[in-house]
Amino acid sequence: MTTDVKKPPGLVYLVGAGPGDPGLLTLKGAECLGRADVVIYDNLVDRAILVHAPESAELIFAGKEGGRHYMTQDDINVLLVKKAKEADVVVRLKGGDPFIFGRGGEEALVLAEEGIPFEVVPGVSATAAVPAYAGIPVTHRGLASQVAFITGHEDPTKTEEGVDWEYLARFSGTLVVLMGVKRLRENTDRLMAGGLSSKTPAAVISRGATPRQRSVSGTLGTISDLVTEHGITAPAVLVVGEVASLREDLAWYDHLPLFGKKIVVTRASHQAGELSDILRNLGAQPVELASIEIAPPEDIRAAQRAVANADGYDIVVFTSPNGVRAFFSILKEQGRDSRVLGGAAVAAMGPGTRTVLNDHGIVPDVIPDKFIAEELAVAIIDGNPDGLTGKRVLLFRAQGARMVLPERLTAFGALVDDVGAYRAIRPDVSRQEIIEILEGADLLTFTSGSTATNLGEMFRINTIWDDASITVPKAVSIGPVTSAAAQKAGFQVAAEAGEYTIPGLVQALIRHVTGES
């Protein structure tokens, strides 16, 4: 006789994601996401935060925005209980802090009533972070030594007024009002009716701590009209008090060089994060539209043979981080390590390739000054003053790469094995997804000729080029070879990196956006 054993409920983490900027997620929040089987997230959670969750995790959107509810709070409560009974670890990911106007307390009570274990992971609250991103300290010596956090949109089912606006009008510190755009005029009128001067400095910040942040400053008496005039919409934070007058001097986020620019990153998905993070830290809104995916070569056997015989080469050349990763992946499968390269000179194309080699304990002997095949060939030739005649050279690189490098080395007498270590293939992306990404985009970025060529082909297949209603942004490229490929594919190149690296590409973006080029 068998008895069904009932699964004990899983652990639920109520995690604060912070307001907007994914960099404001706490370390503990990221750790919890890394263990999640299920993630239930809100509308205000930046999707970039979800990369911390395992690929196997179930992601469930439960967002609410501007009065439109994808799920009601009751629905969310039921879902939390259901998933906790099915999974081992559930993360309830909420914008800001779950216990500051986040209804996290309600969700925790439901879990407690159901006997489901939970932990609360506080987040950076919008009450302080959004004003900070607008250049407003909520406390400041000589101006405000206390601060009050207020909801500007109370539960409509309440029969009694929960916010004592008359008391707040006499409060001697800073007032920070969340979720109050719809009732902004009503709330400011109540404060003035309670005796707070209409000349009190005030500011409203919409979509704070994101590249879409917009701020207006005025006084308690003028702020409602200013919000209407400038089309400021929810979600927004109202700050009332003398500290609001500091915004003009302390605003920093919206002065970042790429602030507010929507920039399309076309690198492969596993590589896009590096550039996206840099752009985000410069105030941009990066959106990823991978135009290449890295796949094994059509026939892996040549790469496997080359790695197996790596100790027989005089020079081993890597032209990209992908080639290095492919080499060491095969090497590991063969039960060997980097010692196979001990007798060879190693050449690398650029700092990215060098970094991945360093991760495997290899310091390259040759790196060109400019990161193109022509310059790498010159560097290898110059690094062998006795000549290349009879020397065995392994090029471990992308299948179908330009023939400049093997041709030039062969011309100097090298015995070259040009091995395709991987393929850069074109992903299948829908027309609708492309249109959504391009909407409002300011610039495209290309980090290789293949990203430009593939994106041009994706546009052709999805009739993007033929649709006059779609604006294709200008591009910024990582170097002249990439620029040539982009122009051939139909793109207009607005700027080109002077140094053919990701930092060089970013500098080209900044120069273009700020008008320096």
Along the 517 residues of the chain, how does pLDDT read in single tens digits? Answer: 455 567 788 999 999 999 999 999 999 999 999 999 999 999 889 989 999 999 999 999 997 655 555 789 999 999 999 999 999 999 999 999 999 998 999 999 999 999 999 999 999 999 999 999 999 999 999 999 999 999 987 655 554 667 999 999 999 999 999 988 899 999 999 999 999 999 999 999 999 999 999 999 999 999 999 999 999 999 999 999 999 999 999 999 999 999 999 999 999 888 888 999 999 999 999 999 999 999 999 999 999 999 999 999 999 999 999 999 999 999 999 999 999 999 999 999 989 999 999 999 999 999 999 888 999 999 999 999 999 999 999 999 999 899 999 999 999 999 999 999 999 899 999 999 999 999 999 999 999 999 999 999 999 999 999 999 999 999 999 999 999 999 999 999 999 999 999 999 999 999 999 997 6
* Alpha-carbon span 472 to 433, nearest angstrom: 14
- Indicate the class that CATH gives domain 11-123: alpha beta
User: Does the fold of domain 296-424 match that of domain 262-292+427-513?
Assistant: yes
Residue 232 and residue 208 in contact, taking contact as beta carbons nearer than 8 Å? no
pTM, two decimal places = 0.85
Query: Which residues are 238's β-sheet partners?
Result: 177, 204
What confidence score (pLDDT) does residue 44 get?
Answer: 86
- Fold that domain 262-292+427-513 belongs to in CATH: Rossmann fold (3.40.50)
Distance, CA of 508 to CA of 477 (rounded, Å): 8
Report the C-alpha gap between 394 and 14 in whole angstroms.
53
User: What pLDDT, in 10s, does the model give residues 185-204?
Assistant: 999 999 999 999 999 999 99
Strands (E) in 52-102, as ranges, are: 58-61, 64-65, 68-69, 89-94
- Beta-ladder partners of 201: 219
Distance of alpha carbon 273 from alpha carbon 51, whole angstroms: 10
| Bridge-based pairing state of the strands 201-206 and 214-219 | antiparallel
**Torsion (CA) 171, 177, 183, 186 in degrees, nearest 10:** 10
How are strands ordered across the β-sheet holding 493-496? 285-288, 262-265, 443-446, 474-477, 493-496
Task: Provide the CATH topology of domain 296-424.
Answer: Rossmann fold (3.40.50)
Query: For residue 154, what pLDDT is reported?
Result: 61
Angstrom distance (rounded) from CA 313 to CA 346: 10
Alpha-carbon span 89 to 118, nearest angstrom: 10
Please list the alpha-helical segments (H only) found in 237-386.
Answer: 247-250, 269-281, 301-308, 321-333, 350-359, 373-382
DSSP three-state, residue 395: strand
CA pair distance 118, 81, nearest whole angstrom: 11
Distance, CA of 66 to CA of 62 (rounded, Å): 14
Q: Which pLDDT score, from 0 to 100, does residue 516 have? A: 78
Domain boundaries, the chain: 11-123, 128-253, 262-292+427-513, 296-424
Cβ proximity of 473 and 438 under 8 Å: yes
- How many angstroms separate the Cα of 513 from the Cα of each of 161, 261, 381, 441, 443? 49, 9, 39, 13, 9
Query: Which residue, chain included where needed, has tokens 């501007």?
Result: 66
**For the chain, how many residues are written?**
517
Report the candidate in 474, 346, 325, 480 with the shortest Cα–Cα distance to residue 402.
Answer: 480
162 is written with which tokens?
């929960």
CATH superfamily of 128-253: Tetrapyrrole methylase, C-terminal domain (3.30.950.10)
Q: Please identify every residue annotated as catalytic.
A: 42, 64, 179
- Give the pLDDT confidence score for residue 517 in this predicted structure: 61
